A and B are shown apart, each in its own frame.
Chain A
Amino acid sequence: MIITLLLVFGAISSRAQENELMLGVRAGHNVAFGGFAALSLETNLTFGQCFNIRGGAQYSTIGKTTLEARPSYVYNFSRGSLSVEALINYARLSSTNNLAAGAGIAFSSKWVGGNAGYYYRVYGGAGGRVVEPFNIYYELYANLLPMIDNWDLQLVITNNDIFELERHFQPSFIAQSRYYLGEHVGLSLGVGCKPAGMFNMSADYYQSYIKLGVCYRW
């Protein structure tokens, strides 16, 4: 909650060059929990030339609340940008608290982008504590319509889609698009699926979802 308030406050008060706030809903099916829906608030804020923070909060009907923040230092060059980022993800599912912290690098260009890094996860509750010290996060995406200013279409493979920080052998496959109706207001639409058992070499269906969002940028 504190992270969310800070991000929202930051969004309102910042004099950043390009900022975005998005209200999103996600609906889907998961083999462990059945049908689910989730409501999220996401922000992406830029401070000056070099600093950026993205993150937000999500509540899902599977009984999970997630907060995430990724501050980064960005180096812009002629063909794109390279950044160093930190990652903090907190989730509460049922009676279990799940905290992950990490760091990595991200890059973006006209056609492709992605990130890669390391994170450390600890989860538990009254019953004890479990540490997962050796996780890698990664994302690779392709921009299919880089020539159109107000329309993005991306294909993504990632284990760190926002609010879903997975073990490294558990990637999601996502197709997502964002269309800006005017200078400030846009719509986003995405579909994703997450198989289980890929690294067992016996993959199976685990989860699929659709996500919709309304964005405001300034």
Chain B
Amino acid sequence: MLQMVKRLLSIAICVAAMSGCNQLDLAGLVMPTGEGVEKRFEQSQSMKADMKAGVVDVQSDYMFYVCADPHIHTTYNNLGIFNNALRNDSDAAFGVILGDCTDTRSNLQTYMGAIKYNAVQHRYNYDIFHILGNHDLFFNGWVDFKEIIGPSVYWFEVAFPEGKDLYISLDTATGTLGSKQTQWLKSFLINNRHAYRHCIVLTHTNFFYTDRTQSSSGNMPIEESIALIDFLGKQKVSLVLQGHDHYREDLTYDNVRYTVIGAISDEIEAPEYLKVYVSSDKVDLDWQLIAEDTELQ
């Protein structure tokens, strides 16, 4: 416990120092610094018809790339490595980035540059789906995110000859789904889950608090977490992919696999990403570590 208190104190000092450099938005400790989750949900609803972001066509067994927390500030070595690996892999179907795309608001253009398709360097122009993280909201960053990237709540299908899989992006950047998103999620899954083989949920904020790594950030309130995992279990969700914690976690609860992917930021000690293999009977994970001295080509 003493270690934890020390850790919290050192984080508090860093936070105070970094807020002076416009990196951390201290006002966000007590109130939303822009639109709250209810408004963001409404705006997301108005951006896409039925909140559907698209369809990815694949064979029945397929694979996609996913990473979390690039926290782009000035450099993007590791995210660039992820982007190159994804866009040169003939087995991949698409990519997912699980939030905290940027460290703070002004870095979104740098982030977009890091993940763009370059016809000279890349063989495949795959879709990349973005999830909203809490850092993306610093200093009212939602204004840029919705304009440059798009909605924070949406769903897409991965269609194959015999059926389709459902992917849902949730907005958990402010530590709660809020009323409207909760009601939408419940109604959407109850009415549509039966039409899909797998359902995979994508969220920035992780649901569980099983180790000390979380002391620097927050999950959702305990009641909301329990209600959510209870509901996702009943809906037979296959996989929940999460970020935010910066450290890997992989557990199964009520037959739902909950996986936190460690950060891919340039500052992290052991950056990683994940290849997810989806087939009829299972979802397999293949962790990819980025070696310390690997440089972006």
Residues of A within 8 A of B (CB): 30-34, 62, 64, 93-96, 98, 118, 121, 123-128, 130-136, 165-167, 169-170, 194-207
Contact = CB atoms under 8 A, between A and B. Distances in A.
B221 A194 contact: yes
11 contacts: A32-B223, A166-B221, A169-B218, A170-B218, A170-B221, A196-B175, A196-B176, A197-B218, A200-B175, A202-B28, A204-B175
Contact of B224 (A32, A134, A135, A199): A32
Nearest to A100: B222
B217 A136 contact: no
B211 A134 contact: yes
B297 interface: no
Contacts of A200: 28, 134, 173-175, 205, 217-218, 244
B42 to A, nearest CB: 14
B1 A202 contact: no
A100 to B, nearest CB: 9
B230 A96 contact: yes
Interface stretch (B51-59, B112-120, B177-185): B177-185
A166 B222 contact: yes
Interface residues of B, number: 55
A205 B1 CA distance: 29
B219 A167 contact: yes
Nearest to B35: A204
B21 interface: no
Contacts of A165: 222
Interface in B16-66: 24-26, 28-33, 36-37
B33 to A, nearest CB: 7
Given A32-B182, A33-B223, A127 B255 contact: yes
Given A127-B233, A203-B30, A204-B37, 20 more contacts: A32-B223, A33-B223, A96-B226, A125-B254, A126-B254, A127-B255, A130-B210, A134-B211, A166-B221, A167-B218, A170-B222, A195-B31, A196-B220, A197-B175, A198-B175, A200-B28, A201-B134, A202-B134, A202-B173, A202-B175
Contacts of B176: 31-32, 196-197, 204, 206
A59 to B, nearest CB: 14
B212 interface: yes
Contacts of A30: 223
A17 to B, nearest CB: 33
Nearest to A60: B223
Contacts of B253: 124, 127-128, 130
A132 B216 CA distance: 15
A56 B199 CA distance: 41
Contact of A31 (B178, B229, B230): B178
B44 to A, nearest CB: 15
